[in-house]
Amino acid sequence: MLIKIVMASKIKEPEIKNLVDRYIKMSNGFVPVQVEVDKSSRGGNCKGLLVGMDPAGTKFSSEKFAEWLKKRIETYGDVTFYIGEAEGLPAEVRASAKEFISLSEMTMAHRVSLLVLAEQIYRALTIMNGHPYHK
Protein backbone atom coordinates (compact mmCIF):
# COMPACT_ATOMS: atom_id res chain seq x y z
CA MET A 1 0.00 0.00 0.00
CA LEU A 2 1.38 3.38 -1.07
CA ILE A 3 -0.08 6.85 -1.54
CA LYS A 4 1.91 8.91 -3.98
CA ILE A 5 1.63 12.50 -5.18
CA VAL A 6 3.23 13.04 -8.56
CA MET A 7 4.16 16.52 -9.76
CA ALA A 8 5.09 17.57 -13.28
CA SER A 9 7.94 19.70 -11.89
CA LYS A 10 10.06 20.15 -8.78
CA ILE A 11 9.01 22.56 -6.02
CA LYS A 12 11.65 25.26 -5.66
CA GLU A 13 10.31 27.27 -2.71
CA PRO A 14 11.84 25.89 0.51
CA GLU A 15 8.99 27.14 2.69
CA ILE A 16 6.42 25.14 0.69
CA LYS A 17 8.70 22.10 0.47
CA ASN A 18 9.19 22.17 4.26
CA LEU A 19 5.44 22.22 4.94
CA VAL A 20 4.77 19.46 2.40
CA ASP A 21 7.57 17.37 3.91
CA ARG A 22 6.01 17.84 7.36
CA TYR A 23 2.61 16.51 6.23
CA ILE A 24 4.23 13.63 4.32
CA LYS A 25 6.29 12.67 7.39
CA MET A 26 3.20 12.72 9.64
CA SER A 27 1.21 10.73 7.05
CA ASN A 28 3.92 8.09 6.97
CA GLY A 29 2.97 7.30 10.56
CA PHE A 30 -0.20 5.75 9.08
CA VAL A 31 0.73 4.53 5.57
CA PRO A 32 3.67 5.11 3.22
CA VAL A 33 3.23 8.43 1.40
CA GLN A 34 5.69 10.01 -1.00
CA VAL A 35 6.05 12.88 -3.47
CA GLU A 36 7.67 12.26 -6.84
CA VAL A 37 8.56 14.43 -9.85
CA ASP A 38 7.51 13.06 -13.26
CA LYS A 39 9.78 14.54 -15.89
CA SER A 40 8.29 12.30 -18.60
CA SER A 41 4.70 13.64 -18.15
CA ARG A 42 3.39 10.08 -18.33
CA GLY A 43 2.09 9.64 -14.82
CA GLY A 44 5.22 8.51 -13.08
CA ASN A 45 5.78 4.96 -11.95
CA CYS A 46 2.10 4.36 -11.23
CA LYS A 47 0.63 1.18 -9.77
CA GLY A 48 -2.94 0.84 -8.61
CA LEU A 49 -5.26 3.81 -9.14
CA LEU A 50 -4.17 6.97 -10.97
CA VAL A 51 -6.18 10.06 -9.94
CA GLY A 52 -5.87 13.30 -11.89
CA MET A 53 -6.16 16.54 -9.96
CA ASP A 54 -8.49 18.69 -12.06
CA PRO A 55 -10.70 21.70 -11.28
CA ALA A 56 -13.62 19.92 -12.98
CA GLY A 57 -13.17 16.76 -10.88
CA THR A 58 -15.21 15.49 -7.95
CA LYS A 59 -15.24 17.75 -4.90
CA PHE A 60 -15.31 16.34 -1.37
CA SER A 61 -15.59 17.46 2.22
CA SER A 62 -12.67 16.21 4.30
CA GLU A 63 -14.82 13.44 5.78
CA LYS A 64 -16.08 12.28 2.37
CA PHE A 65 -12.53 12.38 0.99
CA ALA A 66 -11.41 10.14 3.88
CA GLU A 67 -14.19 7.65 3.02
CA TRP A 68 -13.29 7.80 -0.67
CA LEU A 69 -9.56 7.30 0.03
CA LYS A 70 -10.19 4.35 2.38
CA LYS A 71 -12.27 2.57 -0.27
CA ARG A 72 -9.67 3.21 -2.99
CA ILE A 73 -6.84 1.91 -0.81
CA GLU A 74 -8.89 -1.21 -0.03
CA THR A 75 -9.69 -1.73 -3.74
CA TYR A 76 -6.43 -0.74 -5.46
CA GLY A 77 -3.76 -0.86 -2.74
CA ASP A 78 -1.73 1.98 -4.25
CA VAL A 79 -3.24 5.38 -5.06
CA THR A 80 -1.36 7.99 -7.10
CA PHE A 81 -2.50 11.61 -7.33
CA TYR A 82 -1.12 13.57 -10.31
CA ILE A 83 -0.90 17.37 -10.16
CA GLY A 84 -0.33 19.03 -13.53
CA GLU A 85 1.09 22.46 -14.24
CA ALA A 86 -0.52 25.62 -15.64
CA GLU A 87 -1.66 23.85 -18.81
CA GLY A 88 -3.36 21.14 -16.80
CA LEU A 89 -2.77 17.40 -16.87
CA PRO A 90 -0.57 15.88 -19.57
CA ALA A 91 -2.59 14.03 -22.26
CA GLU A 92 -1.18 10.62 -21.26
CA VAL A 93 -2.15 11.18 -17.63
CA ARG A 94 -5.63 12.39 -18.59
CA ALA A 95 -6.12 9.25 -20.71
CA SER A 96 -4.81 6.89 -17.98
CA ALA A 97 -6.50 8.40 -14.92
CA LYS A 98 -9.57 6.53 -13.73
CA GLU A 99 -10.85 9.35 -11.55
CA PHE A 100 -10.44 13.12 -11.23
CA ILE A 101 -10.59 15.19 -8.04
CA SER A 102 -10.81 18.93 -7.48
CA LEU A 103 -9.41 20.64 -4.40
CA SER A 104 -11.40 23.82 -5.07
CA GLU A 105 -13.27 25.70 -7.73
CA MET A 106 -10.55 28.33 -7.41
CA THR A 107 -7.45 28.13 -9.57
CA MET A 108 -4.30 27.31 -7.57
CA ALA A 109 -0.63 27.24 -8.41
CA HIS A 110 0.54 23.62 -8.61
CA ARG A 111 2.81 24.09 -5.59
CA VAL A 112 -0.16 25.32 -3.52
CA SER A 113 -2.20 22.35 -4.76
CA LEU A 114 0.58 20.06 -3.56
CA LEU A 115 0.49 21.60 -0.08
CA VAL A 116 -3.32 21.43 0.16
CA LEU A 117 -3.40 17.84 -1.11
CA ALA A 118 -0.63 16.73 1.27
CA GLU A 119 -2.53 18.23 4.21
CA GLN A 120 -5.84 16.68 3.11
CA ILE A 121 -4.24 13.26 2.74
CA TYR A 122 -2.86 13.59 6.28
CA ARG A 123 -6.27 14.77 7.51
CA ALA A 124 -8.00 11.83 5.78
CA LEU A 125 -5.58 9.36 7.36
CA THR A 126 -6.23 10.85 10.80
CA ILE A 127 -10.00 10.61 10.24
CA MET A 128 -9.67 6.97 9.15
CA ASN A 129 -7.60 6.17 12.24
CA GLY A 130 -9.61 8.09 14.85
CA HIS A 131 -6.79 10.58 15.49
CA PRO A 132 -7.95 13.93 16.98
CA TYR A 133 -6.19 16.16 14.35
CA HIS A 134 -9.42 16.69 12.41
CA LYS A 135 -11.39 18.03 15.38
Contact between 38 and 66 under an 8 Å Cβ cutoff? The reply is no
CB atoms near residue 58 (< 10 Å): 13
DSSP state at residue 44: S
pLDDT in tens, 18-55: 999 999 999 999 999 999 998 776 665 678 999 999 99
- Residue 126 neighbours by CB under 8 Å, 6+ apart: 30, 132, 133, 134
Q: Which of residues 85 and 100 earns the better pLDDT score?
A: 100
Give the pLDDT confidence score for residue 43 in this predicted structure: 60
- pTM, 2 dp: 0.93
- 105 pLDDT band (50/70/90 cuts)? confident
Give one DSSP letter per residue of 15-65, joined into a string.
Answer: HHHHHHHHHHHHHTTTS-EEEEE-TTSS-SS--SEEEEEEEEEE---HHHH
In this prediction, residue 85 carries a pLDDT of 85
